[in-house]
């Protein structure tokens, strides 16, 4: 009896709980196609355009605010419906949102991020769409973002003591 | 129809399509919409299990999808620019195609990478995905994205632009 119940708990199972593994080929393919669709929308909505972002921060036009607002609204309705009807992911697992915690980085990091967004006219998604669209100067934005990420990686122990993940 | 597609898309079409990315990613792949993790993923792949904890302890296999996702975004950007645009609108103004422009892009990019990872997400992970899942810290993050952006534009704008 004991031997059987021991066999039912292989160590690999514990590992998959703490370290979620990769995806199926179909999963990666659908992520890829979703990314392509998003890249097209980024460019066609012109949120990849520096001028649009600048005009947003100058409060000169509502274009960006409306896109973000409608985006949040549609996503919120969809997620509420998903939770209400307990829709499952195609991989069979229930759909769950992993909350992002509050800590001082949300405030200070948020402000720093906003400053970078205003200067470069791009947030991370549009950087990739700009590069793909042939705006090779956006590679400098991306390189800067990598440097910033590395700087945070080294400074994280000093900036955030322990509490937060992500 | 073709003419409409070739023009810039109206805000409501764009907003609806961006909003639908959130349920699409969840249903198709069981993942939450977020883009700035891709930076951490590339960093962790470069250091390959060494370096600071932030990169050493990063789950490279579990976050591999973020890299596939942003490659898709780049290819989508290529398709939209090459085949779906009548008159290609500039991404960056001419003034950014200079040495001074490069400095601004690198410094601004640094702030994006540092700030997004410090805040735990960017416009996609916090503003779109976080708020739509009623995660209130994401609303705080989004408010401070705009505090930072508005301050730079209105207070330091004459020095930078």
Report the C-alpha gap between A72 and B18 in whole angstroms: 9
B62 contacts A125? CB cut-off 8 A:
no
* Residue-range definition of the domain harbouring residue A139: 25-61+99-164
Give the count of beta carbons closer than 10 Å to the beta carbon of residue B146. 18
Is there a domain that residue A129 lies in?
yes
Is there a domain that residue A88 lies in?
no
Q: How confident is the model at residue B31 (pLDDT cuts 50, 70, 90)?
A: very high
Average pLDDT over residues B17-43: 97
Element (H, E) at B2: helix B2-6
Tens digits of residue pLDDT in A129-150:
999 999 999 999 999 999 999 9
SS3 percent helix, strand, coil of chain B, rounded to 5, is 75, 0, 25
Of the candidates B11, B89, B112, the beta carbon closest to that of A117 is on B112
Is there a domain that residue A158 lies in?
yes
Instruction: Please list, residue by residue across B89-116, b when 16 or more beta carbons sit within 10 angstroms of its beta carbon and e when fewer do.
Output: eebbeeebeeeebbebbbbbbbbbbbbb
Count of structural domains within chain A:
1
Residue A7 pLDDT exceeds 50: no
Contacts of A38 in chain B (CB under 8 A): 18, 21, 72-73, 76
Tens digits of residue pLDDT in B65-87:
999 999 999 999 999 999 999 87
**What residues of chain B, 55 to 74, have a C-beta less than 8 Å from chain A?**
55, 59, 61-62, 64-65, 68-74
Give the residue extent of every domain in chain B. 1-91, 94-161
**What residues of chain A, 76 to 105, have a C-beta less than 8 Å from chain B?**
76, 78-79, 81-82, 87, 89-91, 93, 95, 97-103, 105
Report the C-alpha gap between B113 and B111 in whole angstroms: 6
Distance from CA of A7 to the nearest CA of B (A): 26
Residue A155 pLDDT exceeds 50: yes
pLDDT for res B133: 97
Is there a domain that residue A133 lies in?
yes
Q: Which among A17-21, A159-163, B109-113 has the top mean pLDDT? A: B109-113
Is there a domain that residue A30 lies in?
yes
Of the candidates A38, A114, A153, the beta carbon closest to that of B73 is on A38
Tens digits of residue pLDDT in A35-52:
999 999 999 999 999 999
Average pLDDT over residues A92-102: 94
Is there a domain that residue A73 lies in?
no
**What residues of chain B, 72 to 91, have a C-beta less than 8 Å from chain A?**
72-81, 84-85, 89-91
* Interhelix angle B99-119/B37-47, nearest 10 degrees: 100
Average pLDDT over residues A15-37: 83
pLDDT for res A6: 45
Average pLDDT of chain A? 89
pLDDT for res A162: 55
A129 contacts B115? CB cut-off 8 A:
no
Average pLDDT over residues A21-32: 92
């Amino acid at each position: 009896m004991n031997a059987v119940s021991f066999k039912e708990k292989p160590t690999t199972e514990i590992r998959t709980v703490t370290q979620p593994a990769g995806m199926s080929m179909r999963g990666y393919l659908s992520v890829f196609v979703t990314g392509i669709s998003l890249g097209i929308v980024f460019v066609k909505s012109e949120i990849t355009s520096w001028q649009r972002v600048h005009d947003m921060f100058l409060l000169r036009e509502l274009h960006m605010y409306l896109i973000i607002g409608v985006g949040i609204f549609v996503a919120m309705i969809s997620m509420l419906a998903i939770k209400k009807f307990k829709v499952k992911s195609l991989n069979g697992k229930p759909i769950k949102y992993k909350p992002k915690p509050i800590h001082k980085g949300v405030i200070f990091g948020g402000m720093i991020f906003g400053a970078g967004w205003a200067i470069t006219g791009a947030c991370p998604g549009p950087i990739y769409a700009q590069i793909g669209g042939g705006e090779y100067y956006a590679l400098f934005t991306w390189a800067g973002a990598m440097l910033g990420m590395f700087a945070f990686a080294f400074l994280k122990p000093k900036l955030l003591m322990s509490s937060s993940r992500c | 129809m073709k003419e409409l597609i070739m023009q810039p898309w109206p805000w409501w079409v764009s907003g609806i399509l961006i909003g639908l990315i959130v349920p699409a990613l969840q249903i198709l792949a069981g993942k939450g919409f977020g883009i700035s993790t891709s930076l951490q993923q590339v960093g962790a792949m470069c250091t390959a299990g060494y370096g600071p904890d932030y990169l050493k302890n990063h789950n490279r296999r579990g976050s591999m999808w973020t890299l596939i996702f942003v490659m898709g975004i780049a290819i989508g950007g290529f398709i939209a620019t090459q085949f779906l645009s009548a008159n290609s609108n500039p991404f960056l103004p001419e003034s950014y195609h200079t040495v001074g422009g490069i400095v601004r892009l690198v410094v601004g990019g640094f702030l994006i990478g540092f700030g997004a990872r410090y805040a735990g997400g960017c416009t996609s992970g916090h503003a779109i995905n976080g708020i739509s899942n009623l995660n209130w810290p994401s609303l705080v993050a989004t408010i401070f994205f705009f505090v930072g952006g508005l301050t730079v534009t209105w207070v330091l704008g004459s020095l930078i632009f």
